Amino acid sequence: MVLSLTMAAQDSRGRVLMLFISLMMALSCASGMPISRQRLEVRKHLQRLNKPALKSIKSPDGDIIDCVHVSHQPAFDHPYLKNHTIQLRPTFHPEGLFGESKVASSPSQKNSTITQLWHLNGRCPENTIPIRRTKKDDILRASSVKRYGKKKLRSIPQPRSADPDLINESGHQHAIAYVEGDKYYGAKATINVWQPKIQQPNEFSLSQIWILGGSFGEDLNSIEAGWQVSPDLYGDSNTRLFTYWTSDAYQATGCYNLLCSGFIQINSEIAMGASIFPISGYRGSQYDISILVWKDPKEGNWWMQFGNDYVLGYWPSFLFSYLADSASMIEWGGEVVNSEPNGEHTSTQMGSGHFPEEGFGKSSYFRNIQVVDGSNNLRAPKGVGTFTEQSNCYDVQNGDNGNWGKYFYYGGPGKNPNCQ
- Rounded to whole angstroms, the Cα distance separating 320 from 335 reads 23
Among the residue ranges 6-15, 32-41, 183-192, the one predicted with the least confidence is 6-15
CB 172 within 8 A of CB 250: no
What's the whole-model pTM score?
0.87
Report d(CA 149, CA 230) in Å as an integer: 11
Q: How far is CA 57 from the centre of its chain?
A: 22
Mean pLDDT of 125-146: 95
Predicted confidence (pLDDT) per residue in 319-369, tens digit: 999 999 999 999 999 999 998 877 889 999 999 999 999 999 999 999 999
Among 21-30, 230-239, 247-256, which range has the highest average pLDDT?
230-239
Indicate the average pLDDT of the chain.
Answer: 87
What is the pLDDT, as a whole number, of residue 343? 80
| Distance separating alpha carbons of residues 167 and 117, to the nearest angstrom | 36
Spot the catalytic one: 41, 95, 126, 335.
Answer: 335
pLDDT over 80 at 18, yes or no: no
Q: Is the pLDDT of residue 139 over 50?
A: yes
Residue 33 has pLDDT above 90, yes or no: no
Digit-coded pLDDT (tens) for 58-114: 999 999 999 999 999 999 999 989 889 999 999 999 988 655 544 454 423 333 466
Does residue 234 carry a pLDDT above 70?
Answer: yes
pLDDT of residue 109: 37
Res 38: pLDDT = 83
Share of the chain above pLDDT 90, in %: 75
- Is 100 an active-site residue? no
The per-residue pLDDT for 37 is 85
Other C-beta atoms within 10 Å of 165: how many? 8
Active-site position among 203, 224, 331, 389 = 224
Omega of the bond leading into 278 within 30 degrees of 0 (cis): yes
Q: Contact, 283 vs 106, CB < 8 A?
A: no
- Residue of 14, 36, 13 lying closest to 24 (CA atoms): 36
The confidence score (pLDDT) of residue 2 equals 32
Peptide bond into 94 cis (omega under 30): no
Q: Rounded distance, CA 246 to CA 256, Å?
A: 10
- pLDDT at position 170: 60
To the query of whether residue 224 is one of the catalytic residues in this protein, the response is yes
Spans of all domains in the chain:
2-32, 43-411
End-to-end CA distance of the chain: 70
